[in-house]
Amino acid sequence: EKGGYTSSVSRKMGKFEIAEGGTIFLDEIGDMDISLQAKLLRVLQQKSFERLGGTKAVTVNVRVIAATNMDLQEMIRRKQFREDLFYRIRVIHLELPSLKQRREDIPLLVDHLIAKFNRLQGKDIAGISGEVMTRLMGHDFPGNCRELENILEQAFVLCHDSIINLNHLPPELRLAGRSDSGVSRPMSLVDLEKGMIGETLKRCNGNRRQAARELGIDPSTLYRKLKALRIKVPEKDGRSQP
């Protein structure tokens, strides 16, 4: 509200008020201060709040999506996260694997981020080189998707051509593919594709249709690639079939 705090000269709508009738995304909810957790819980329970400096309750009806990289149950044990808030937001729980566990998503994420940074920075970068993709596919990404985003954002700043190459990557990635002799040994696109298909089949326990869906290709296309690349399909009993 106007006058609710120093320099407040007009009423401003808060995030929940703006999201009325829609969805609000709370990223890294595990970082939220314990006092703010109590306020959030009150809003979720009562579906209303009072503006800072206000006296009237504002009713809100929003869907809340919350995300975190932290173990909230461990934080509850350490008294760092409210148990009542945890169960209030844990209606539908989705656990996303780390980027290291779903490397086949990296090319799709790269395409998305290139389009995003082209739009934000007013550039027209077409893509990344094969060597850059090799480095990204071989990286463990302890920082998950944010690390990939930061890597590409840095590359965009440094790149003045149409293709992002090794020189635009951080040193730890730029040097990752070098042998003891200092000669770069990039993975071929065939080996890269073979590795992606193999990892997906392994995660899908050899289910070819499920693997095809995850790879975003038709089952018939996957069958042709399996034959052409001579990839063995893992079975549930641990054996492999051609």
Among the three residues 35, 65, 89, which one is the final residue of a domain in this structure? 89
Whole-number average pLDDT of the chain? 84
**What are the tokens at 176?**
């990752």
Domain assignment of residue 182, yes or no: no
138-160, pLDDT tens digit by residue? 899 999 999 999 999 999 999 99
Name the band, by pLDDT with cuts 50, 70 and 90, for residue 239.
very low
Domain assignment of residue 7, yes or no: no
Domain assignment of residue 225, yes or no: yes
The CATH number of the domain holding residue 164 is 1.10.8.60
Q: Are both 221 and 163 inside the same structural domain?
A: no
Global pTM value: 0.57
Q: What is the pLDDT of residue 190?
A: 65
Q: Does pLDDT of 237 surpass 50?
A: no
Quote the CA–CA distance of 138 and 178 in Å, as a whole number.
Answer: 13
Structural domain boundaries, residue 55: 15-89
CB 109 within 8 A of CB 145: yes
Among the three residues 89, 116, 145, which one is the final residue of a domain in this structure? 89
Domain assignment of residue 122, yes or no: yes
Q: Are both 139 and 116 inside the same structural domain?
A: yes
Number of domains in the chain: 3
18-68, pLDDT tens digit by residue? 999 999 999 999 999 999 999 999 999 999 887 766 667 888 899 999 999
Q: What are phi and psi of 178, to 5 degrees?
A: -85, 140
Q: Does pLDDT of 75 surpass 90?
A: yes
